[in-house]
Structure 1
Amino acid sequence: MTALHKDAAIAVIGAGAMGAGIAQVAAQAGHPVALFDTREGAAAQAIAGIARQLGKRVEAGKLDAAERDAVLARLSPAARLEDLEGSALVVEAIVENLQVKRELFEKLEAICGDDCILASNTSSLSITSLAATLQRPERVAGLHFFNPAPVMALVEIVAGLASDKAVVDCLYATAKAWGKKPVHTKSTPGFIVNRVARPFYAESLRLLQEGAGDCASLDALLRDAGGFRMGAFELTDLIGHDVNYAVTCSVFDAYYGDFRFQPSLIQKELVDAGRFGRKSGRGFYDYAEGAERPAPQSLPAAAKPACVVVEGDLGPASALVERLEAAGIEIVRRDGAGLIRVGEAVLALSDGRMAAERARDEGLRNLALFDLALDYSKATRLAVAFAADCDASTREAVAGLLQAAGISVTAVTDSPALVVLRTVAMLANEAADAVLQGVGSASDIDLAMCAGVNYPKGPLAWADAIGVGTVLTALDHLQRSYGEDRYRPSLLLRRLHCAGERFHG
């Protein structure tokens, strides 16, 4: 697997944000780079923009002035497509339109030498389809960067049906030589990231639609308990609802209406209203000057209990007991089914059932369920759902217990798998199906989700950490609660659980 030599000429077509970013990455790696755009003067303007960005880095002491000058010297605007004839690699980053991209590749095939690799930065179109009209489709592959390309580490290397393995391997090695974190994937709708990430948005949107919690609270739970950098509502506001909704619709349609990827009517309403998020000034949140960001809902302060009883093993939440003990609460340990008893209240980690359902099934009174956390020793907020028979004293007991450990408590409507557990289970489920269908390896998928969308842990590594059986149980309960194919567990999850195996090792 050999990367392109630094002397190899790179061409980038499309001088928008992505094209300019890719050109900058290649120039910083030492390649001579030609940037072409059909809009007169656009390539030169993009290079000037790169110069300004690099200038700011020089002023901040993050880049040597000589290096900046060397990078800029390697960048040049191309006046015509024919000027790209001697390129070793041409990357297109133009409009997401199949026919327009096909026509471009047909022209490039006639212009560029037989050894030139033709790559597409498409985020959603089939590489197989893009190359289908060419005489040599084997030299076409996907080279999908994430925005902003100079900053984001991930690059998806996408193999179409006809892509030559040597071409794919060369792109992988080249991306790595450019300082990126490449992953292999095949040409399926959404590739890795735009497919596997769908549940992150979809489950929060569904919880909002069902009235389980408000935007600020659901976002806070994904951040403060789940360890995600942003919640689904603030992230879609940042991405733009026009963009995020279009990707969801594209993946949904490409999978023939599989309800696992069903778009949200709530998000459609925002798009129809022109409330695209930050760029329009309003989305789920108001970004007007002086607008106040709503705070997450928290239960009021309550008294700290002196003693609790812990029955059995709390599994993934075992660190919570240590944290309670460190807060000065006496812990009495007994055998049992993984419960915490504080006064008359019973607290348990969600297994995917609603609190009312589990209370009925197990004959428990005053039952409260708490949510999954990335790290119970550090989480600053947890979602809790209360069974129907819980009174004010139960709420106060649970709130006082968790608050004593420095954890804010957000009460959500009694919903299957709460917030973080539901989201993580669905992310792991989609990632498992991607492995099962050969879209990518478990290690590449986890790397893609961490490097491409900044997840705190790869979904499959997370499944390993809490137990594949825990994820499978949560999904089984979700599917039973809703009666929908949307929550069907991946065959691979069930297979690994039955064999006692993990995704990694």
Structure 2
Amino acid sequence: MQEREGGAALAPGEAVLVVGAGAMGRGIALVAASAGHLVFLSDVSEEARRRALTAIAEELDGGVRKGRMSAEEASAIRDRIRAVAEPQSVASQVRLVIEAIVEDLEVKRVLFASLEPLVPPQAILATNTSSLSITAIAAPLARPERVVGMHFFNPPTRMKLVEVVSGLATAPEVAQAIRDTAVRWGKIAVMARSTPGFIVNRVARPFYAEALRVLAEGAADCATLDAIVREAGGFPMGPFELMDLIGHDVNFAVTSSVWSAYFYDKRFQPSLIQQELVWAGRLGRKSGRGFYDYAAGAQRPAAAEAPPCLDRAPSAVAAVGEFGPFSALLERLAAAGVVVHRRPADAGPVRIEAADVWIVPTDGRTATRLAHEYGHADVVVLDWARDWAQTPRAALARADGCAQDSWACALGLLQRAGIAVTPLDDVAGLILARTVAMLANEAADAVLAGIGTPRDIDTAMRYGTNYPLGPLAWGEATGVARIVGLLDRLAELYGEDRYRVSPLLRRHLWNGRPLASGDEGERK
């Protein structure tokens, strides 16, 4: 991502003050010093300052050992970081202040109020808050227009994304200066409007919420659901292992904060399962136990997998209707020696007919509902996958009345294509389909609310969470009609506002324009 013309990025000779020497503060200080700035790292705790300088030195030494920099370069960076006890003592020397202190609105307000009269008139006051309102932080100041969010992700030295967040009073040139500074520091910067969760912490909520709901409904265990999301979806981690890594206290607090900030919108409702883990002190890796056990010698449970049924695989199938992104599965079956007869759509669902069984790509209806609606007992529903040409795993669920022979036929068919099959209980939307649909829906609503452009929202989710695709691009690749149809059926089944379709998704369904547009104006 290139720096925009006319940007006002900080020059390397201008000093930066980072307040708070915890993990985030020291990481931000190292990023700024590596870009050539003199950095004052402030913390009231002498021990925190000492630990921060030690950690910075260790990270620089590691960079030298790995050949990322010379010893001289590491020494120069180290020399540009100076620890101070009182931020007010150096405030007059800096062009940029970045606070990374406790997530408490009043504490941040007091800090900025103490620094505002001391910093130069052109200095910018940036907050690394991940959840508090930029507008609220800036409101008591004499010049709220120079307050902006500069939200780094942990660890700042490795995560590429920075959210540049504007409050109601933030001057456009201030946001632009921070955006250009982040780019100069080697980051990928996105612009966001100050709303609860900004981009990433809002749009990511369904990744956790849908997995927790499917777990609560007994579809499968954590290891099985994680494996599907990871291997079929291409996500670097499944939702349960990621929540264990983040810490359930942190993840639950963020979800609760976004939920309350949006006046208890059902889309962001926290999970009772996660609340129980927090109450029990099972916070994940840092406590030794969460969804998984991290004690020495503990065995990680394996994902459920269907037994081999290759001997039941049919030699020929019929593919009825338009398969869209599932077409690559048909090609994969053909490459495995299965004869695939294509037939036009009829009054039934899009499906693969293999002997007596219908294999239906999930559209939000359960297999049992499909069996009832079409009067065909042997129905199996198939979850979505990121890339059917290469996916190593797929999830299936069968109708309550599906015969065992038909179930074995469906399992064997996918196994013949080299796909490990994971059986789930018959829940609506299975796991990957409902997760992807809800992520795309939330991203569309964020665009509609003016929180960010489609490009910035997809970029934020790719680099802030390491998703394999931005949710809008994924929704477009899947098909807006499929996303809307699945959400409508979930809303019908659950009777909840949680699954309401974003008006922007419906608009794109009707106008046929690209969902993942690079220019916000293109959707008008």
Bucket of the pairwise TM-score, normalised by the shorter protein: over 0.9
Structure 1 match to 2:407: 395
Matched, 1:29 2:35: yes
Structure 2 match to 1:439: 451
Deviation at 1:325, TM superposition (A): 1.1
Tell me the alpha carbon deviations over residues 328-387 of structure 1, each in whole angstroms, 9 at most, x when there is no partner: 222222223532111111111111111111222233331111011000111111111111
Structure 1 match to 2:135: 128
Structure 2 match to 1:274: 281
Measure, in 1, the Cα distance between the counterparts of 2:281 and 2:49.
Answer: 31
Return the match for 1:50 from 51, 56, 80: 56
Deviation at 1:41, TM superposition (A): 4.4
Contact 2:45 2:85 in 1 (8 A): no
Measure, in 2, the Cα distance between the counterparts of 1:171 and 1:212.
Answer: 45
Structure 1 match to 2:495: 483
Measure, in 2, the Cα distance between the counterparts of 1:328 and 1:70.
Answer: 63
Contact 1:78 1:84 in 2 (8 A): no
AA in 2 matched with 1:80? E
Matched, 1:177 2:184: yes
Return the match for 1:323 from 321, 329, 332: 332
How many residue pairs match? The answer is 505
Matched, 1:422 2:428: no
Matched, 1:312 2:312: no
TM-score (norm 1): 0.98
Tell me the alpha carbon deviations over residues 3-61 of structure 1, each in whole angstroms, 9 at most, x when there is no partner: 11111101100000000000000011111111000112432431221111110121122
Matched, 1:76 2:82: yes
In the TM superposition, 1:250-289 aligns within 5 A as: 250-289=257-296
Matched, 1:494 2:500: no
Structure 1 match to 2:475: 463
Measure, in 2, the Cα distance between the counterparts of 1:83 and 1:500.
Answer: 56
Deviation at 1:209, TM superposition (A): 0.6
Tell me the alpha carbon deviations over residues 431-454 of structure 1, each in whole angstroms, 9 at most, x when there is no partner: 111000001111100000000000
Tell me the alpha carbon deviations over residues 242-265 of structure 1, each in whole angstroms, 9 at most, x when there is no partner: 000000110011011111100000
Structure 1 match to 2:521: none
Measure, in 2, the Cα distance between the counterparts of 1:139 and 1:499.
Answer: 40
Measure, in 1, the Cα distance between the counterparts of 2:407 and 2:72.
Answer: 63
Secondary structure of 1:88's counterpart equals: strand
AA in 2 matched with 1:117? I
Tell me the alpha carbon deviations over residues 210-260 of structure 1, each in whole angstroms, 9 at most, x when there is no partner: 111110111011011111111111000000000000001100110111111
Matched, 1:7 2:19: no
Contact 1:468 1:502 in 2 (8 A): no
Matched, 1:360 2:372: yes
Structure 2 match to 1:335: 344
Matched, 1:412 2:419: no
AA in 2 matched with 1:265? L
Tell me the alpha carbon deviations over residues 277-322 of structure 1, each in whole angstroms, 9 at most, x when there is no partner: 0000000000011111111111110023222222232111100011
In the TM superposition, 1:204-243 aligns within 5 A as: 204-243=211-250
Secondary structure of 1:218's counterpart equals: helix
Measure, in 1, the Cα distance between the counterparts of 2:63 and 2:337.
Answer: 49
Structure 1 match to 2:392: 380
Secondary structure of 2:94's counterpart equals: coil
Structure 1 match to 2:255: 248
Unaligned runs of at least 5 residues, structure 2: 1-6, 518-524
AA in 2 matched with 1:270? L
Measure, in 2, the Cα distance between the counterparts of 1:254 and 1:439.
Answer: 15
Contact 2:95 2:123 in 1 (8 A): yes
Measure, in 1, the Cα distance between the counterparts of 2:341 and 2:492.
Answer: 35
